[in-house]
Structure 1
Amino acid sequence: MPALKTILIIDDDVDDQEILITAIQELDETITCVTALNGIEGLDKLKAKEVVPKLIFLDLNMPAMNGFQFLEHVKGNDELSKIPVVVFSTSSNSSDVQQTKKLGAIDFFTKPASFLKLKQLLIPRLEFIR
């Protein structure tokens, strides 16, 4: 049986994935995190129902399929479009924020420099899966 609270993390930086997973699990140990290294891998896992997440954390700048392209595919798919997507990126460019929200992301935050700040930023976003 799939975990009730599952998050899909799509980011090509394994260190960023691990930091995000650690922060999420320190905030709520009942959350299961599944990772993908780019949009294509994330989309494949979703379509194969390898993961049925309550929430997706999505990086923007990735090889093969970037976050913008991933959002277009997911939000254009009736079965997947209802999964909330939160973009987290090194970018703080307002046009990136606007573009991702226009494509259907429910939220956007810039990757912080500190672990404590990351946990603070995650708290309200984890409410999307409760």
Structure 2
Amino acid sequence: MDKEILLVDDDAVTNFVNQTIMESKFPGVPIKLFFNGAKAMQYILENPTKHFLVFLDLNMPIMSGWEFLNTMETQKDGLHIEIHVLTSSIDPRDKQNATKFPLVSSFMAKPLNESVLDNLLTDKIKKYP
């Protein structure tokens, strides 16, 4: 099975920075960028055999991170997906609400921090077949 990292954020600069960090930490793991949840969801559903690590912003046009999470919960059967919320929100209610979704593994504040990424994901990337 293939593994991929999906960066889902409407901010091109944030995606560039996050992609650069990811590429240095996980060479050889494909990284795909999506600027809204709808495109990311379509891609995931069209590739059900892949393993996905998704870094998801909450506030985006077309399909927000919240809408993405709600829809993925109804579509998750048979999928291999783990979601890490990566947001600029400092509202504690957002973190509390995000943890109610079983697919959400963590809630992180932007910008992505290399040491947090090291601690959080090194084992997760390596465990996928």
Do both share a fold (TM > 0.5)? yes
Q: CA deviation at 1:124?
A: 2.2
Counterpart of 2:124, as a letter, is F
Pair 1:125-2:120 in alignment:
yes
Cα distance in 1 for residues equivalent to 2:30 and 2:97: 29
- Structure 2's unaligned 5+ residue stretches are none
Secondary structure in 2 matching 1:83: strand
Instruction: Answer yes or no: is the 8 Å Cα contact 1:8–1:51 preserved in 2.
Output: no
Instruction: Answer yes or no: is the 8 Å Cα contact 1:87–1:109 preserved in 2.
Output: yes
What's the Cα RMSD here? 1.9
Counterpart of 2:63, as a letter, is M
Using the aligned pairs only, state the percent identity: 28
Stretch moving more, 47-56 or 30-39:
47-56
- Structure 1's unaligned 5+ residue stretches are none
Cα distance in 1 for residues equivalent to 2:124 and 2:98: 17
CA deviation map 1:17-74 (0-9, x unaligned) = 1100100111121221011110101111111219934311100010011111101111
Scaled by the length of structure 1, what TM-score is found?
0.85
Cα distance in 2 for residues equivalent to 1:43 and 1:120: 28
Cα distance in 1 for residues equivalent to 2:50 and 2:35: 17
Counterpart of 1:128, as a letter, is K
Secondary structure in 2 matching 1:54: strand
Cα distance in 2 for residues equivalent to 1:98 and 1:128: 23
Structure number with the higher strand fraction is 2
Q: How many residues align?
A: 123
Cα distance in 2 for residues equivalent to 1:15 and 1:51: 30
Counterpart of 1:9, as a letter, is L
Cα distance in 2 for residues equivalent to 1:69 and 1:124: 28
Instruction: Answer yes or no: is the 8 Å Cα contact 1:8–1:53 preserved in 2.
Output: no
Pair 1:34-2:29 in alignment:
no
Q: Equivalent residue for 1:103?
A: 101
